Amino acid sequence: MALKRINKELKDLSQDPPTTCSAGPIGEDLFHWQATIMGPKDSPYNGGVFFLSIHFPTDYPFKPPKITFTTKIYHPNINSNGSICLDILKDQWSPALTISKVLLSICSLLTDPNPDDPLVPEIAHIYKTDRHRYESIAKEWTQKYACNVQDKLTAILKATKAHARGLAFFVTIYKSLMLLQRQITSDGKNTDIHTFIAGCVGGWFVFGEKTSVNQQIVLYLFSRIAMGLVNTAMKAGNFNAPPNSFAMFAAICWGIVMVLFRRDKSMLQDSLKNSMTYLYEDSDHWYSLKTLLWHNK
């Protein structure tokens, strides 16, 4: 039940992401997500990007998720551990609520704190008695802890939205073609060739443009396919994997990529080439703390 609901929310977020928030699983663990919230414009958190951790319980959505800020923030309802004092995350939780709605509620909490139910009474007191001082400190913390990643994260959010729309478009094409092919068959059933055709058409129209995001997606798919074929062959008994086979595979991959990087960088995918240039060439100029900070600013 929990996994089905989490997958549905992930799909809904991909198709209709909020303008100031984003969220998605960390790696392949669907019960552990990372979220981001852009500081509301009409608040002292404007210009900041705040990261949050989301842990779903196994009986979700009947129990609320555990959501904490991993970015430090000065707020009467959020403590130094990132815990959030919000009624819908406690006794007012309802299975009808979604992560999207919760994140929007947290955004509203940033705009309108609740000093009468504080998690940090000292900050609540300052909020009530000296609003100017409260906003000044909140802005200072935002600049210090939440603004150094804004430009990079804005680009990431744009790429994430584009990727989400692309996936939604792919699903639409794929399912439409599967339905069409099912209707023109005599038995009304899809076959593997129907699946292959629908996947090819969707891949061509959605991921066929050679962008850095599409390249990474397609290369990731290719790597998973290759590993899947190897595992299938091993299970079928066609050959036995030698000891330390993955270590050998990793060693060969790194050896080849370093030779390609040295001899002809143009053969490498753009993001890989840029990362390796940063690590193996720019690092030659990190002679002091000053130059290290300059290259990593």
Which residues are annotated as catalytic? 85
Report the distance separating Cα 131 and Cα 234, nearest Å.
67
Q: What is the C-alpha to C-alpha distance for residues 213 and 221, in angstroms, rounded to an integer?
A: 13
- Preceding peptide of 118 cis, ω within 30°: no
What number of other Cβ atoms are within 10 A of residue 170's Cβ? 18
In the chain, alpha helices (H): 2-15, 99-111, 121-129, 131-141, 150-184, 192-207, 212-235, 245-263, 270-280, 289-295
- Measure the CA–CA gap between 234 and 237, rounded to whole angstroms: 5
The CA-CA-CA angle for residues 224, 228, 229, to 5°, reads 120
Q: Which residues, including other chains, have CB under 8 Å from residue 213's CB and lie 6 or more apart?
A: 159, 162, 163
Asked whether 173 and 198 are in contact (CB, 8 A), the reply is yes
- What secondary structure does DSSP assign to 212-255, as a single string? HHHHHHHHHHHHHHHHHHHHHHHHTTS-PPPTTHHHHHHHHHHH
Q: What's the N-to-C CA distance of the chain in angstroms?
A: 45
Residue 283's alpha-carbon distances to 194, 254, 257, in angstroms, are 50, 19, 18
Q: Encoding tokens for residue 218?
A: 């397609």
Residue in 159, 155, 171 with CA at minimum distance from that of residue 206: 171
